[in-house]
């Protein structure tokens, strides 16, 4: 279930980008991606992954970008998410 949710989340994010940053598709993709991540590794591990002290900057940018996309500012939100994703997995 988790891998399917992550796959659909990535599909909706890619489709939202291809349709000129459609905020509804991007928001739906972000929600599916994060819920799939929770299903794959569990709630506790997801929480500890995002809120470790060295990864706090990347997590705040990534989750802040998700919130910005949910508030219908898709381009700024995706830029923040991309920076947070790069900072998280550096």
Domain boundaries, the chain: 1-51, 52-89
Q: What is the pLDDT of residue 60?
A: 97
Q: What is the pLDDT of residue 8?
A: 98
Mean pLDDT in the chain? Answer: 96
Determine the average pLDDT of the residues in 74-85. 96
Secondary structure of the chain as H, E, C letters: CHHHHHHHHHHHHHHHHHCCCCHHHHHHHHHHHHHHHHHHHCHHHHHHHHCCCCCHHHHHHHHHHHHHHHCCCHHHHHHHHHHHHHHHCC
Tell me how far apart the alpha carbons of residues 34 and 40 are, in angstroms, rounded to a whole number.
Answer: 10
pTM to 2 decimal places: 0.91
């Amino acid at each position: 279930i988790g891998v399917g949710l992550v796959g659909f989340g990535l599909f909706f994010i890619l489709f939202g980008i291809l349709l000129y940053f459609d905020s509804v598709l991007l928001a739906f993709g972000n929600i599916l991606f994060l819920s799939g991540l929770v299903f794959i590794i569990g709630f506790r591990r997801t929480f500890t992954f995002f809120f470790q002290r060295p990864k706090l900057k990347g997590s705040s940018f990534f989750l802040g970008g998700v919130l910005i996309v949910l508030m219908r500012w898709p381009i700024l939100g995706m830029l923040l998410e991309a920076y947070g994703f790069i900072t998280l997995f550096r």
